[in-house]
Amino acid sequence: MALNKVEICGVNTSKLPLLTLEEKERLFEKIEQGDKKAREHFIKGNLRLVLSVIQRFSGNGENADDLFQVGCIGLMKAIDNFDRSLDVKFSTYAVPMIIGEVRRYLRDNNAIRVSRSLRDTAYKAIYARENFIKEYDRDPTMEELAKEIGMTKEEVVYALDAIACPLSLYEPVYQEGGDTLYIMDQVSDKKNREENWVEHISLREAMKRLSDREYNIIKLRFFEGKTQTEVAEEISISQAQVSRLEKAALKSMRNYLI
């Protein structure tokens, strides 16, 4: 990926504007009033943020223009969902949104770079795991998973690793005014109110993608601390159904957050 080129998607990256905090505040006031020109100005003023984020994916062999466009989608989502009243820096909120958008794009297009045989093995393992959980109500060990699909543990591990998109916690994702933001900075820390807030936003977005029944089960189980039996009695289904729906909901949320 040629990120050192001056022009990406028709944008001269050497001349990207940089907004001051005062300018960002002033523009956001106008954006909240529906000013489309202010929104466009704010987007252009944060394209450096997108560029900084996508540079960390330079080893993936992806086209810089494609990643830049995907990153811009994440930026626009961040602008549309940002809440200034929570006293969080826009970059702190936007970086995870942009990273998430790029990672989903890479995950969805990962099959292009992984051999068919590896993909087939990985998908067999994934399906076998789901069937194992349904039958035994627990996650299989790697040995059990390998046995289910008639392959060695090493082959299964290699195949699953091949379709994953690993990240380094110490890779820089953004730099502004001498302050560098690393992936490690996005890891949850109960002592850090800002990061807890970002994590809460991500969790809330993941839960929005659940069905009403799955949402209710997750709320009762993990926010109200009820057992599966108590949840089953409350929503009038069996405990086994609660267990299956809970696992499906957690898997859906995990896939979104990853």
Partnered with residue 174 across adjacent β-strands are 181
Q: How do residues 27-69 score in pLDDT, each as one tens digit? A: 888 988 888 898 899 988 888 888 888 887 766 667 778 888 8
Q: How do residues 145-163 score in pLDDT, each as one tens digit? A: 889 899 888 888 877 776 6
> How far apart are the C-alpha atoms of 53 and 68, rounded to whole Å?
9
The secondary structure of the chain in percent helix, strand, coil, rounded to multiples of 5, reads 70, 5, 25
Q: What is the Cα 91 distance to its own chain's centre?
A: 16
| Those residues with Cβ within 8 angstroms of residue 139's Cβ, 6 or more apart along the chain or in another chain | 129, 132, 133
Residue 188: predicted pLDDT: 47
> How far apart are the C-alpha atoms of 197 and 188, rounded to whole Å?
9
Is residue 190 predicted with pLDDT exceeding 50? no
Q: Positive or negative, the Cα torsion across 126, 247, 258, 45?
A: positive
Residue in this structure with the two tokens 């807890």, named with its chain if needed: 196
What number of CA atoms fall less than 13 Å from residue 101's CA on the CB side? Answer: 20
Q: What is the Cα 123 distance to its own chain's centre?
A: 21
Most confident of 8-12, 145-149, 223-227: 145-149
Q: Contact at 8 Å (CB) between 2 and 64?
A: yes
Using 50, 70 and 90 to split pLDDT, how confident is the model at 191? very low
> How far apart are the C-alpha atoms of 156 and 151, rounded to whole Å?
7
Beta-carbon count within 10 A of 62 CB: 19
Is residue 6 predicted with pLDDT exceeding 70? no
Instruction: Name the DSSP letter for residue 222.
Output: I
Of 199, 193, 205, 196, nearest in space to 77 by CA: 205
Percentage of the chain exceeding pLDDT 90: 1
Opening angle at CA 153, ends 150 and 154, nearest 5: 120
What number of CA atoms fall less than 13 Å from residue 74's CA on the CB side? Answer: 28
Residue 157: predicted pLDDT: 83
